């Protein structure tokens, strides 16, 4: 027992890192052969996806019942263990999708309307005019019962539980009606779930050590020192074929590369990627001493901080690229020449390099200042908008794409981890609309894109809008009440935003109880 406990402790102190290895120099015959396999696997995945969708109710209650049916798709060209893994992954994808849909259904009852009014004169409205009318919903005992029952199949057995909410419904003779209503809603949600369509044949190649002469029966990585040009190889194996792929290995980056591991094979346009995992030492972070709030804003600058400092990207380059991109859009991306395609790919690589370099420079400055923690918005849920950037005459969504903002979180976290700096992720909602002084979140607080002016009577707080956003982001970590209500934490103490609706986030942010007069929250100032 002591040995097992020690093993668990050692495993918890390790990290699993992905290693991506390219095979760019294989001949066209091998490449085409694997592409053909990729197409067959893609078709198989979509066939399995249809089957899983037809049994989506079973997926919701017990996905193992469905995943065990992989034998229905056995064939003479794919190993059973690969087939089983594909089935498991597809079931997992549906399980995640269903969970998100069911979590989004939060039963509540209607209590009335909430009316908001304009607090100052605008171009089209006067102070005191009705601004919005929102229906207000609240939970009660029956809606709480619905939340419990939506994950229950045997409602009769559940009714025998020693539960106050269940007993309340039974006493009111409402239990069966509530259970039937929940079943109807659940069925409708599951019925409306879309079929997941797979566009690639990317799949796992499990490793098995059971083979002749120490060689695996499955796909595996091996080293052939007799070959002068390529020493590292990947044996891509199916039931009918063994295809040997030369690997592009960097001695520094791929040092201590594990051989006997599972691999994921991904097919690109002109090459093949073999992705494996390796154990790495647990991450080490500095003691939390200095926290900054970082607001990413592609309109006015690249990044703004709570102390008013800002960093910007090369606007001349983005303007030049935007014009080039608009030219290609007029032609049509399907109609561009190979030369234009190469130009586009080169420009995108250059832009990616520029953003990564900018992140590097920002982190250098923060590290010199002694920063140990960065709080930023959840960029995975960056709002889609069709606001045009007047500077570049391009849609804002396109600008976000050009600047690779969807990848910034991954790049920033990766570089920060190497420096021992934690990156905390919080909700993007209301970061630039909430007043740091009176804590009221109101759309009217943003006079312009750059200017923040609180409209709450008696407050009149003013500041740069990006700076305000940085202040608010920082407070979601330094204020322990906001921190615990809005976030979860990993084993390293890094925040991750809890899954919740915008109205719920707003209610927490504007709750006066989260801003006590004496403020018992732990506040770490930057200065």
Q: What is the pLDDT of residues 181-233, one digit of tens each?
A: 999 999 999 989 999 999 999 988 877 765 555 555 678 888 888 887 888 88
pLDDT in tens, 442-455: 888 887 778 899 98
**Per-residue confidence (pLDDT) for residue 1, from 0 to 100:** 43
Residue 373 has pLDDT above 90, yes or no: yes
pLDDT in tens, 115-138: 988 887 877 888 889 988 888 888
pLDDT in tens, 246-286: 888 776 666 677 777 888 888 887 778 888 887 777 888 99
Residue in the block written with tokens 């500041």: 463
**Per-residue confidence (pLDDT) for residue 525, from 0 to 100:** 38
Average pLDDT score, the chain: 84
Burial (CB < 10 A; 0-12, 13-18, 19+), residue 89, is middle
Average pLDDT, integer, range 4-9: 43
DSSP code string of 143-195: HHHHHHHTT-S-HHHHTTS--HHHHHHHHTT-HHHHHHHHHHHHHHHHHTPPP
Reported as a pLDDT band with limits 50, 70 and 90, residue 67 is: very high
Reported as a pLDDT band with limits 50, 70 and 90, residue 405 is: low
**Per-residue confidence (pLDDT) for residue 146, from 0 to 100:** 94
**Beta strand 291-296 pairing with 373-377:** parallel
Average pLDDT, integer, range 432-448: 88
Sheet order of strands, 422-426 included? 310-311, 303-305, 291-296, 373-377, 422-426
- Provide φ and ψ at 274, rounded to 5°: -110, 120
Reported as a pLDDT band with limits 50, 70 and 90, residue 479 is: very high
Cα(169)–Cα(184) distance, integer angstroms: 18
Closest CA to 196 of 355, 46, 359, 38: 46
Residue 44 has pLDDT above 90, yes or no: yes
**Per-residue confidence (pLDDT) for residue 46, from 0 to 100:** 97
Name residue 113's beta-bridge partners: 135
The full set of domain ranges for the chain reads 14-101+199-281, 291-514
**Per-residue confidence (pLDDT) for residue 394, from 0 to 100:** 60
Reported as a pLDDT band with limits 50, 70 and 90, residue 388 is: very low
Cα(366)–Cα(375) distance, integer angstroms: 13
**Per-residue confidence (pLDDT) for residue 254, from 0 to 100:** 66
Q: Which residue has the higher pLDDT, 329 or 430?
A: 430
Percent with pLDDT over 70 in the chain = 87
Residue 524 has pLDDT above 60, yes or no: no
pTM > 0.75: yes or no: no
Average pLDDT, integer, range 310-324: 83
């Amino acid at each position: 027992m002591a040995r097992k406990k020690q093993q668990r402790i050692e495993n918890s102190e390790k990290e699993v890192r992905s290693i991506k290895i390219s095979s760019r120099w294989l001949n066209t015959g091998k490449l085409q052969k694997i592409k053909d396999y990729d197409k067959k696997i893609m078709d198989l995945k979509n066939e399995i996806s249809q089957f899983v969708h037809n049994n989506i109710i079973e997926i919701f209650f017990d996905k193992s019942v469905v995943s065990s049916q992989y034998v229905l798709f056995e064939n003479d060209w794919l190993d059973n263990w690969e087939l089983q893994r594909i089935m498991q992954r597809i079931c997992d994808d549906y399980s995640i999708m269903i969970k998100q849909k069911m979590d989004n259904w939060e039963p509540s009852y209607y209590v009335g309307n909430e009316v908001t009014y304009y607090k100052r004169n605008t171009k089209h409205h006067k102070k005191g005019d009705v601004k919005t009318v929102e229906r207000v919903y609240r939970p009660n005992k029956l809606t709480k019962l619905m939340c419990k029952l939506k994950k229950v199949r045997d409602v009769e057995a559940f009714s025998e539980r020693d539960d106050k909410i269940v007993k309340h419904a039974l006493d009111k003779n409402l239990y069966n009606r509530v259970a039937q209503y929940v079943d109807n809603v659940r069925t409708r949600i599951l019925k409306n779930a879309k079929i997941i369509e797979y566009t690639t044949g990317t799949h796992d190649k499990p490793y098995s050590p059971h083979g002749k002469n120490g060689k695996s029966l499955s796909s595996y990585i091996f080293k052939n020192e007799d070959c002068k040009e390529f020493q590292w190889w990947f044996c891509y194996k199916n039931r009918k074929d063994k295809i040997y792929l030369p690997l592009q290995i960097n001695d520094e980056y791929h040092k201590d590369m594990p051989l006997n591991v599972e691999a994921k094979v991904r097919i690109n346009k002109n090459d093949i990627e073999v992705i494996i995992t390796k154990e790495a030492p647990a991450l080490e972070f500095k003691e939390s001493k200095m926290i900054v709030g970082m607001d990413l804003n592609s309109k006015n600058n690249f990044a703004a901080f709570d102390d008013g400092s800002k960093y910007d990207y090369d606007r001349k380059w983005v303007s030049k690229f935007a014009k080039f991109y608009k030219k290609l859009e007029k032609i049509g991306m399907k109609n561009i020449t190979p030369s234009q395609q190469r130009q586009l790919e080169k420009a995108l690589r250059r832009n990616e390099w520029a953003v990564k370099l900018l992140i590097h420079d920002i982190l250098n400055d923060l590290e010199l200042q002694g920063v140990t923690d960065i709080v930023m918005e959840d960029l995975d849920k960056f709002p889609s908008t069709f606001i045009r950037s007047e500077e570049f005459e391009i849609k804002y969504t396109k600008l976000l794409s050009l600047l690779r903002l969807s990848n910034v979180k991954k790049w920033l976290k990766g570089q920060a981890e190497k420096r021992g700096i934690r990156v905390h992720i919080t909700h993007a909602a209301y970061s630039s609309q909430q007043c740091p002084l009176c804590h009221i979140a109101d759309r009217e607080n943003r006079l312009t894109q750059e200017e923040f002016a609180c409209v709450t009577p008696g407050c009149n707080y003013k500041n740069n809008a990006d700076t305000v956003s940085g202040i608010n982001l920082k407070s979601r970590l330094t204020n322990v009440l906001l921190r615990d209500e809005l976030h979860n934490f990993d084993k390293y103490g890094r925040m991750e935003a809890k899954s919740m609706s915008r109205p719920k986030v707003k209610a927490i942010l504007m709750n006066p109880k989260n801003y006590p007069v004496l403020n018992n929250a732990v506040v770490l100032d930057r200065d």
